[in-house]
């Protein structure tokens, strides 16, 4: 094994450069991952731009919190605790938590008060440095949430498990409570919208609507292969009228906005019927939405914020991909070598000509 790791480091807003780090010493309770693929999350452009979602970004840092790879080195105690061995293919959750704050002690480690999160809020200035997957190696913290997936699941599918699919299961199923026969409306046909459609379909929802714009034509076409019964181009049709007409005025039982645009949150609330649930997991980057709160009050609509996956939803996502009912590999539309990580982030941000679904980085390419 090498003694060094290359990594793309975000030194400040919109400034990335390749750097080399000594690999850390590994003890009984931690480990080192050889990264196979790193997913570019829809939130990564905000990190790249320095948006202080959790507070000021601790530059320099290594981005990348959608993680799949093989255990390169791990202490015996950690191997026994996690049920993995060196050489195993695993996925690692975005949040691992400090283990000491109230959020962590109550199991809500994705809202850790000390912000122990991979790829976003830990500087690479000090050893063990490697807290992001835009790197050849990633440090496996003793608190890390590690899930063995084995060779049966490819890296291309594995990189979707923790973030995209784990998120979808937690947001739609655990928080949204999607169940058999529910009418579901999903705003935004990106990677999370496609995952949400698949989760809703697995949960027995019918009908499932996925809403996008003219520029989303290819992604709306994909949404049908991921479980949508009906797609709506909001540039050509009024989503509220379509869903109202087809549900005889009942509207949707569960609505989620995955657009990251305040207008999407406003539309989400308008599509919610009586006693419905609205799930808002998008990061709106400080922009405000104008919500019709009278509609929420008079119809007793439940509105939930949602953030990240958790241990239970990731385990469910692993089982879901093993059933091979959906073409998840189709989500990956663009691949970049590590040296081009900055271009990968810009593409995910919509700053390039092509509109991707899922962008991934190959650290060893």
* pLDDT single digits (tens) 107-156: 999 999 999 999 999 999 999 999 999 999 999 999 999 999 999 999 99
Location of structure tokens 């922009």: 287
- Average pLDDT of the chain? 96
Q: What is the mean pLDDT of the segment spanning 3-10?
A: 97
Q: What is the mean pLDDT of the segment spanning 34-51?
A: 95
Q: What is the pLDDT of residue 190?
A: 95
The β-bridge relationship of strands 272-280 and 332-337 is: unpaired
The pLDDT tens digits of the residues spanning 266-306 come to 999 999 999 999 999 988 888 899 999 999 999 999 999 99
41 DSSP 8-state letter? -
2: which 2 tokens? 């090498």
Q: What is the mean pLDDT of the segment spanning 90-111?
A: 96
Does the pLDDT value for residue 54 go beyond 90? no
Question: Cβ neighbours of residue 228 under 8 Å, at least 6 residues apart?
Answer: 186, 197, 201, 208, 209, 210
Domains and CATH numbers, the chain: 4-151+327-362 (3.90.180.10), 167-305 (3.40.50.720)
The pLDDT tens digits of the residues spanning 306-348 come to 999 999 999 999 999 999 999 999 999 999 999 999 999 999 9
b/e sequence 97-114, b meaning 16+ C-beta within 10 Å:
bbeebebbeeebbbbbee
Q: Is the separation of the CB atoms in 169 and 199 below 8 Å? A: yes
The H or E element that residue 294 is part of is: helix 293-298
Q: What is the pLDDT of residue 337?
A: 98
């Amino acid at each position: 094994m090498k003694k060094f790791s290359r990594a793309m480091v975000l030194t400040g807003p919109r400034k990335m450069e390749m750097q080399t780090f000594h690999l850390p010493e590994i003890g009984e309770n931690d480990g080192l991952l050889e990264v196979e693929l790193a997913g570019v999350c829809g939130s990564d452009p905000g990190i790249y731009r320095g948006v202080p979602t959790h507070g000021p970004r601790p530059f320099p840092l290594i981005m990348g919190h959608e993680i799949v790879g093989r255990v390169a080195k791990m202490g015996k105690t950690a191997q026994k605790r996690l049920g993995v061995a060196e050489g195993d293919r695993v996925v690692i959750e975005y949040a691992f938590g400090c283990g000491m704050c109230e959020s962590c002690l109550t199991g809500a480690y994705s809202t850790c008060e000390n912000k122990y999160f991979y790829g976003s809020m830990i500087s690479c200035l000090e050893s063990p440095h490697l807290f992001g997957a835009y790197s050849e190696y990633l440090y496996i913290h003793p608190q890390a949430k590690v899930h063995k997936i084995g060779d049966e699941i490819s890296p291309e599918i594995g990189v979707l498990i923790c973030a995209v699919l784990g998120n979808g299961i937690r947001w739609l199923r655990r928080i949204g409570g999607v169940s058999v026969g529910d009418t579901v409306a999903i705003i935004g046909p990106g990677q999370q919208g496609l995952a949400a459609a698949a989760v809703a379909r697995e949960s027995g929802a019918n009908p499932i609507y996925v809403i996008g714009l003219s520029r989303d034509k290819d992604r709306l076409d994909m949404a049908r292969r991921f479980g949508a019964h009906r797609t709506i181009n909001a540039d050509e049709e009024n989503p509220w009228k379509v869903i109202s007409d087809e549900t005889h005025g009942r509207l949707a039982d569960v609505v989620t906005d995955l657009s990251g645009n305040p207008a999407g949150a406003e539309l989400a609330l308008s599509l919610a019927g009586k006693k419905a649930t609205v799930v808002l997991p998008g990061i709106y980057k400080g922009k405000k939405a104008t919500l019709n709160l009278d509609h929420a009050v008079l119809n007793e609509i439940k509105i939930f914020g949602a953030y990240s996956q958790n241990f239970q939803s990731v385990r469910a996502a692993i089982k879901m991909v093993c059933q091979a009912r959906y073409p998840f590999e189709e989500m990956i539309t663009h691949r970049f070598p590590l040296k081009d990580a900055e271009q990968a982030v810009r593409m995910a941000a919509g700053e390039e000509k092509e509109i991707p679904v899922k962008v991934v980085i190959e650290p060893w390419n």
